[in-house]
Amino acid sequence: MARFSQSYTISVFWPRLKRNQLAIAGGTVVLILFIVSLCAPLLSPYSPSEINAYSVLSPPTWHHWFGTDELGRDVLTRLLYGSRVSLKVGFVAVGIAVSIGTVVGLVSGYYGGVVDSILMRLVDIMLCFPAFFLILAIITFLEPSIWYIMMVIGLTGWMGVARLVRAETLSIREMDYVLAARCIGCSNHRIIFRHIFPNAVSPVLVSATLGVAGAILTESALSFLGIGVQPPTPSWGNILASGKDYIEFAWWLSLFPGLAILVTVLSYNLLGEGIRDALDPRIKR
């Protein structure tokens, strides 16, 4: 039987994760943010592009809980809609990165030899470039678009996943059940994706959870610099950027989007660390 199914069924994983209070807190916040992003049109008291010349730079009140911006738009509404953009970028970019990294890691670790050398040298070359500056260089040649941002973040973030999956594959391919599958004539494709991949999935889960936080942070930074999601589409990054010119007397424009980014990234990191600990048999709780 596969090593993963022996050691980590749901009945083992969940109690270990549940004992990690920080991970549960992070997961709860992540779940709330996900629900809020889905229900943004129902929860938003105003339209994200609704301009009100009579409420320009209004501080937080009962009518505008998080105040208004330089065009009189409700900041809370724009944050709610901005969460949809940030989470969309996070999940799609990480999906691209994890898919590429998993395939490269499985192929490299299973076949070894020349294939492993070529793929790992490619990973080393990609890692030589600072990720954020590489993203900046690519984005400057493309039209600013949320789809380009998701693709670029995903295509420049798969190397860590590839290394993790390769390391797991190198050890799993020597297991008895893999050798038995070879003996009965299973194809390489079947061995890789039916026997090895399910047992190498734990680092992928952890990397994906932590990667969402990194992707959200990267998208926010790009939007803050003006080369990410373009106004009037709300994004936490461009909301924060619009507030920097008024920070001396309109503190709420910088405080609330900054807190949204902080809480979201921290929650994903706590959840990712908790999943890693729950999946690690060397850590006893």
CA–CA separation, 129 and 91 (whole Å):
23
Looking at residue 174, its amino acid is E
Q: Coil, strand, or helix at residue 74?
A: strand
CA atoms within 13 A on the CB side of 282: 1
CB within 8 Å of 248: residues ≥ 6 apart = none
Taking the mean position of all CA atoms in its chain, how far away is CA 169?
A: 23
- Give me the residue spans of the domains in the chain: 69-279
- 222-249 tens-digit pLDDT: 888 888 788 788 888 888 888 888 888 8
- 20-73 tens-digit pLDDT: 888 899 999 999 988 988 888 888 878 888 888 788 888 888 888 888 888 888
Please tell me the predicted confidence (pLDDT) of residue 3.
46
Supply the CATH classification number for the domain 69-279: 1.10.3720.10
Please tell me the predicted confidence (pLDDT) of residue 29.
92
Please tell me the predicted confidence (pLDDT) of residue 8.
47
Q: Which residues of 135-162 are buried (b: 16+ CB within 10 A; e: fewer)?
A: beebbeeeeeebeebbbbbbbbbbbbbb
Q: How far is CA 178 from CA 170, 187, 189, in A?
A: 12, 11, 12
Please tell me the predicted confidence (pLDDT) of residue 228.
78
Please tell me the predicted confidence (pLDDT) of residue 284.
55
pLDDT along the chain (285 residues), means of 10: 47 76 90 89 82 82 86 88 88 91 91 89 86 77 79 87 90 84 84 84 84 88 82 85 83 90 92 81 55
CB within 8 Å of 267: residues ≥ 6 apart = 25, 26, 27, 29, 30, 33
Closest CA to 82 of 43, 27, 126, 54: 43
Please tell me the predicted confidence (pLDDT) of residue 102.
92
CA–CA separation, 169 and 73 (whole Å):
52
Q: Is the dihedral of CA 19, 25, 31, 35 positive or negative?
A: positive
Q: Coil, strand, or helix at residue 262?
A: helix
Q: Coil, strand, or helix at residue 28?
A: helix
Q: pTM of this prediction?
A: 0.83
Please tell me the predicted confidence (pLDDT) of residue 5.
45
